Structure 1
Amino acid sequence: MVAIEETTGGRPAADVLAGVRDVVDPALRAAVATLPSAPRAIAEYHFGWCDEHGNPVGGAGGKLFRAALALLSARAAGGSGQGAVPAAVAVELVHNFSLLHDDVMDGDATRRHRATAWRVFGTGGAVLAGDALLSLAFDTLAAGGDPAGSDTVRRLNSTVQRLIAGQSADMDFERRADIAPAECRAMAEAKTGALLGCACGLGASLGGAAPGRAEGMHRFGELLGLAFQIADDLLGIWGDPATTGKPVHSDLRNRKKSLPVVAALAAGTAESGELAALFARARPLEGPDLVRAAELVELAGGRSWAERETAALLESALEHLRSAAAAAAPAAELAELARLAVRRDH
């Protein structure tokens, strides 16, 4: 077991992410450049590389958080970060496939402080661009030269199927009033935990880590993913639009039965009942209704539960990281990145 908290050899998180970008960004851009022209233009806009006319723009785009998990997991488990690059690119492509589709399904107007791809290029174009990224993710793994290539593709496919199942449940929950907390947790584990677990486990495997360590990294990522989703649920209710790039109360506007909301509804308080009645109204939730819904989630204990659960999941994830790690400095960097992820602005 590596004592990651006592290690001083890790780099600051900003330097870690910058290093990941230096390695992964060229490979990601090269992969996207192979797409047909129409989905490529939409993808390049979505990634923040170009404007709607195809002109290059400044800025780094997304943080490549999942790619960082893949590379650092490989190094922390005793493998090679360079060997994990195909996994890093693949999980970023899958993640952005899901974002393009999510924005269409949720009707979100902004992402990363500008108009979402579907608003600029239309829903059909955005959906097809997401499909193209998903196909490209599998091609990236298959072309990665790993001896276990077919196995890695199957593992990514299983992850995508779980992600889709989780997203489907999330959409179904918007139309239901009887969501049990355990059911909502399972949805979040599939929707978010599956891909973060895949990033860590696949990165470690492709980087050459021993199977037992790779499996430990996979479990670390799954638990971190669930904590990450709950933190995202909190941002979806109380996040600052200047930080998140999305409208305030965006999840409440869509009547999402996120984990804090379900915890509040299940609390059995007067506020729980008022919140359920508010969600059951036929008319759209807006203005004062959204403000009151956020208040009710907090008064019914949903916010405090989510904060406690996030902390507990993070600690459990770090225990798996301690057990799986073989190299102290990258494990320390991975631990710091995990901590930032659950009090994040992304």
Structure 2
Amino acid sequence: MSVTEDTAHDRGTDAVLARNRALFEPALRAAVDSLSPAVRPVAAYHFGWVDQDGNPSHADSGKAIRPTLALLSAEAVGAPPASAVPAAVAVELVHNFSLLHDDVMDGDTTRRHRPTAWTVFGSNTAILAGDALLTLALDVLAASRGEAAQDGLRMLSAAVLDLINGQRADLDFEERRDVGLEECVRMAEGKTSALLGCACAIGAAYGGGGERVEALREFGSSFGTAFQHVDDLLGIWGRPETTGKPVHSDLRSRKKTLPVVAALRSGTPAGNELADLYLGERELSDAEVARAADLVETAGGRRWSAEQADTLLDRALGALRSGDLAPRPVEELGALARFAVHRTH
């Protein structure tokens, strides 16, 4: 694909994201506005709608990939996208519940190019705001009272439990020296893939997808693991203007991400040197963090994650082709997956 074609492709995906945001965001804002004054300002700040003083803002609210997946999945099974707005709102609320908690647990001070909510409002208040978003997500589905509401509640609850288990494993890995590659992949499947798969499945369920729900879940799950590989690559080599976080942010906190674990388990001289450097206790200097990034690449971690992302993307696109799905939303789902996975390679 040429640079011109690639740019046009990105513009097309941006248009799909914008179209779907216009459909679900009013309902998302209305849901957040229903929260109590104790947590509503924190949530509104986190979503980028206000500044820390409560004044209207137009800060980055994220790509909104998960709600877009839900709406496109409803269209893929032949339903109007509006039928899946409750599903789209619910998965976006759950995603942001996880981000609020994740930032506190990881001690991250920057998200989406500005201070994280916990650094502005305090960690306890940010945790409570995250709890409120999770509860609100379930309430949005329950209030929809559609035929798919009960199934949707079960799907979302199961995804949240998988997400929590994945996050717990992620935290455990930080304290361990012997993390295996297979268990690292399972962690990613829980932490990221479960909610992306759920977004597709719940959207399809709200669209009356029947047996086609599982094909869309498989698409979302495979895409989700590919997405995590790319997110981990960005956590090491991503540009701050793209990620909204400092360069090498995951290495500074010694996170056991997919490319890092692949390098540590490579059995190469670079992998052994990385282990000596990375598995210590003292804080790494800027030079050591940069050296760690070089070692991950030399040991093959960067290449492995990039290749895995491409393989999983192919699997995701194959799942789309296996279902009896509407062509235009399928094309947009595929384009969205390719856009997200090709952010770094």
* TM-score, length basis structure 1: 0.94
The residue type paired with residue 215 of structure 2 is: G
Cα shift readout 1:179-203 (whole Å, capped 9, x = no counterpart)? 1111110000000000000000000
**Which structure 2 residue ranges, 5 or more long, are not aligned?**
1-10
Q: Structure 1 counterpart of 2:53, which letter?
A: H
Residue of structure 2 equivalent to 1:285: 284
Distance 1:18 1:40 in 2: 24
1: CA distance, partners of 2:76 / 2:277: 47
Between the aligned partners of 1:14 and 1:259, the Cα distance in structure 2 is: 28
Deviation at 1:13, TM superposition (A): 1.1
Distance in 1 (CA, whole Å) between partners of 2:285 and 2:104 is 20
Q: Within 5 A, what are the aligned runs for 1:26-45?
A: 26-45=26-45
Q: Return the alpha-carbon distance in structure 2 between the equivalents of residues 143 and 165 of structure 1.
A: 27
For 2:229, give the aligned amino acid. Answer: I
Among all aligned residue pairs of Structure 1 and Structure 2, give the percentage whose two residues are the same amino acid: 58
Equivalent pair of 1:192/1:226 in contact (CA under 8 Å): yes
Q: 1:273 — aligned with what?
A: 272
Counterpart for residue 19 of structure 1? 19
Which whole-Å deviations, capped at 9, do the CAs of 1:57-105 have from their partners, x for residues lacking one?
1256222110100001111122231111111000000000000011111
Quote the Cα distance in structure 1 between the aligned partners of 2:232 and 2:23. Answer: 30
Q: Which structure 1 segments of 5+ residues have no match?
A: 1-10
The answer to whether structure 1 residue 264 and structure 2 residue 246 are counterparts is no
Q: Is the 8 A contact 2:100 2:130 kept in 1?
A: yes
Aligned to 2:154: 154
Alpha-carbon separation, structure 2, partners of 1:148 and 1:249: 43
Range that drifts further, 273-282 or 304-313: 273-282
d(CA) in 1 for partners of 2:108, 2:339: 25
- Aligned partner of 2:168 in structure 1 is 168
Deviation larger for 325-334 or 101-110: 325-334
**Corresponding letter in the other structure for 2:265:** A
User: Which is further off, 216-225 or 152-161?
Assistant: 152-161
Question: Structure 1, residues 277-305: CA drift from partner, whole Å, max 9, x if none?
Answer: 11222111231111011000000000001
Contact 2:67–2:89, Cα closer than 8 Å, also in 1: yes
How far apart in 2 are the matches of 1:55 and 1:324? 46
Residue 201 of structure 1 aligns to a residue whose secondary structure is helix
Q: Is the Cα–Cα contact under 8 Å of residues 66 and 88 in structure 1 kept in the other structure?
A: yes
In structure 1, what residue type is equivalent to 2:52? Answer: E
Cα distance in 2 between the residues matched to 1:323 and 1:233: 29
Please name the residue that 1:242 is paired with: 241
Residue in 2 that maps onto 1:254: 253
Say which SS state the counterpart of residue 143 (structure 1) adopts: helix
The alignment of Structure 1 onto Structure 2 pairs a total of residues equal to 334
- Alignment partner, residue 327 of structure 1: 326
Contact 2:60 2:112 in 1 (8 A): no
Q: Is the 8 A contact 2:166 2:191 kept in 1?
A: yes
Would the aligned equivalents of 1:83 and 1:207 in 2 still touch at CA under 8 Å? yes
TM-score (norm 2): 0.95
Task: Tell whether 2:113 aligns with 1:119.
Answer: no
Instruction: Give the secondary structure class of the aligned counterpart of 1:62.
Output: coil
- Root mean square deviation of aligned Cα: 1.2
Of structures 1 and 2, the one with the larger relative CO (CA 8 A, separation 6+) is 1
Shift of 1:322: 1.1
Q: In 2, are the aligned partners of 1:32 and 1:43 still within 8 Å (CA)?
A: yes
Question: Cα offset for 1:325?
Answer: 4.5
Q: In 2, Cα distance between the equivalents of 1:344 and 1:95? A: 20
Matches within 5 A, 1:170-185: 170-185=170-185
**Retained in 2: the 8 A contact 1:80–1:208?**
no
